[in-house]
Amino acid sequence: MTSKIEQLKTYLAEIVDLGYIGSLLGWDQETNMPPAGVKERGEQMATIARLAQQRFTSEELRRALEEAEAEVAGMDPDSDAARLVKVTRREVDKRVKVPSRYYEELSQLAVESYAAWKQAREQDDFEHFRPYLERMVDLRREFASYFSPYEHVYDPLLNEFEPGLKTQEVQQIFNELRPQQVALIQEITSRPQVDDSPLRQHFDPQKQWDFGVEVITKFGYDWQRGRQDKAAHPFTTSFGLNDVRITTRIMEDYVASALFSTMHECGHALYDLGCDPALARTPLAGGSSLALHESQSRLWENLVGRSKPFWEHFYPRLQAYFPEQLGNVSLDAFYKGINKVQPSLIRVEADEATYNLHVMLRLDLEIQLMGGELEARHLPEAWNAHMQEYLGLTPPTNAEGVLQDVHWSHGYIGYFPTYALGNLISAQLWEAIHKDIPDLEDQIRRGEFAQLLGWLREKIHRHGSKFEAPELVQRITGQPISPQPYIRYLRQKYAEIYGI
């Protein structure tokens, strides 16, 4: 790379370090920190955030970036250097266009709003949360205004989490998906239900942990470059390309929880760990957008981890861990149990077939809220109407409805669609992988994942954040992001399980 690029990289390295350090402060808070440390930890995180913001908005970075932009003008636009400059510009613009005061207001409101949401959910009292939500919607509209002109006011919010995607594109994808997914669920629910009671017995937590470790070790998780801890809400976090940690949560009376959460987080971690070391300590290091990240976690959790071939290999192992609970449960019964479909109220407990509908509901409401077509005070009715339409259910309380998710209290409007897009992309990739690895199912049946992981590394992981999701999916599959592979995947899977 040239000297101007090197100068830019030197400057960015410090910002990247601050990001990793902030992540460590957060990880420690979730896994280790004694309770009384919370106030001081907040001060430290604010200090790190302020230092990063100062650097992002500094004259020095502005100049270094402009010089680097001039230098990459004639280069291959796919080169590391050109992509580094492009992604840095995107990130710097976000910091520069929005005044620092805005972010201070946002984090202040987020703290108050989170507390209000928590109480509102506990007491099933939407009205307690409403004024905070209204202020948050106003504040997020203000955020969007810094990026005008835009096609849709929701675009800048969406791009906070999913750069390169437009509201209109997401709506088009989901409009295509929705009727097919609703129809599928209606077919499934008209069939006799499968029995998942064998999963709901007492399972020793240490054995659950050990089995999960055995599985992700086979996936290729590198314990020299990562570790697993317990946390109330499982997550993956990076402190560099060689320190990518996962967390899990174990439920003693439900074996599927820790198991699939561990595979899910491992999928995230493998993405970050697979990044080309040449991108280390730059904004290109580690996985790209949230949707691409979710495509990786869902791929390992669902397309691998809830598949028949996977369990043909691992079920005897699981039975050996839990002979008393599973010794007399057939592979087929177990497989059906972990793939049970049941429309339910709570997104985070939803199965593969219904999950996306929870997301689509939120996306609709967010777009209407931001566009001013829906007022916050009408949210509960709108929520319940959608639930009835999509899933045939009406939440008995707002706590089980509109108040169930934490995201809005943090100001994370635009985040939800990435979950569903991740599902869609995972299936789209899965079809591409099958073309390149025709005997993939046999490999999985033998507990072999090296070729699969190699494919993901080559096509996705090594690029870090060089490519945005729509571009990368197009490059790999030759198609834009599409819901059809996911629908094909669900149809095929549930046709067998539910005898449709």
The encoded tokens of residue 389 equal 């339409």
Minimum gap (Å) between residue 282 Cβ and its own copies: 12
**Residues in a beta bridge with 246:** 228, 236
Select the span of 47-55, 250-258, 399-407, 447-455 touching its own copies (CB under 8 A).
Answer: 47-55
Please tell me whether residue 349 binds its own copies under the rule CB under 8 A: no
Integer Cα distance of 349 and 381 in angstroms:
22
Q: Which amino acid is at 319?
A: Q
Q: Between 29 and 384, whose beta carbon lies closer to its own copies? A: 29
Please tell me whether residue 235 binds its own copies under the rule CB under 8 A: no
Please tell me whether residue 175 binds its own copies under the rule CB under 8 A: no
The encoded tokens of residue 364 equal 């609709």
Select the span of 161-169, 224-232, 397-405, 460-468 touching its own copies (CB under 8 A).
Answer: 224-232
Q: Between 229 and 448, whose beta carbon lies closer to its own copies? A: 229
Residue with tokens 């089980």: 400
Please tell me whether residue 230 binds its own copies under the rule CB under 8 A: no
Integer Cα distance of 183 and 253 in angstroms:
33
User: Is 91 one of the annotated active-site residues of the chain?
Assistant: no
Minimum gap (Å) between residue 219 Cβ and its own copies: 16
Integer Cα distance of 301 and 87 in angstroms:
29
C-beta of residue 259 within 8 angstroms of C-beta of residue 208: yes
Q: Between 18 and 106, whose beta carbon lies closer to its own copies? A: 18
Among 2, 10, 37, 348, binds its own copies (CB under 8 A): 37
Select the span of 138-146, 220-228, 367-375, 477-485 touching its own copies (CB under 8 A).
Answer: 220-228
Q: Which of 101, 174, 106 is nearest to 136 (CA)?
A: 106
Query: What residues between 289 and 348 interact with its own copies by CB under 8 A?
Result: none
Q: Between 275 and 387, whose beta carbon lies closer to its own copies? A: 275
Q: Which amino acid is at 292?
A: L
Choosing from 265, 301, 352, 366, the catalytic residue is 265
C-beta of residue 420 within 8 angstroms of C-beta of residue 355: yes
Integer Cα distance of 493 and 187 in angstroms:
13
Q: 443 vs 58, 214, 280, 310, CA distance in Å? A: 51, 17, 32, 9
Query: What residues between 49 and 108 interact with its own copies by CB under 8 A?
Result: 51
Residues touching its own copies, count (CB under 8 A): 38
The encoded tokens of residue 22 equal 């902030």
Please tell me whether residue 32 binds its own copies under the rule CB under 8 A: yes
Among 7, 8, 11, 20, binds its own copies (CB under 8 A): 20
Please tell me whether residue 280 binds its own copies under the rule CB under 8 A: yes
Integer Cα distance of 340 and 334 in angstroms:
10
Q: 10 vs 13, 19, 20, 60, CA distance in Å? A: 5, 15, 16, 12
Please tell me whether residue 213 binds its own copies under the rule CB under 8 A: no
Among 17, 67, 105, 187, binds its own copies (CB under 8 A): 17
CA dihedral defined by 333, 483, 401, 145, rounded to 10 degrees? 150
Q: Catalytic amino acids?
A: 265
The footprint of its own copies (CB under 8 A) covers 13-14, 17-18, 20-21, 24-25, 28, 32-37, 39-41, 43-44, 47-48, 51, 222-227, 229, 239-243, 245, 280-281
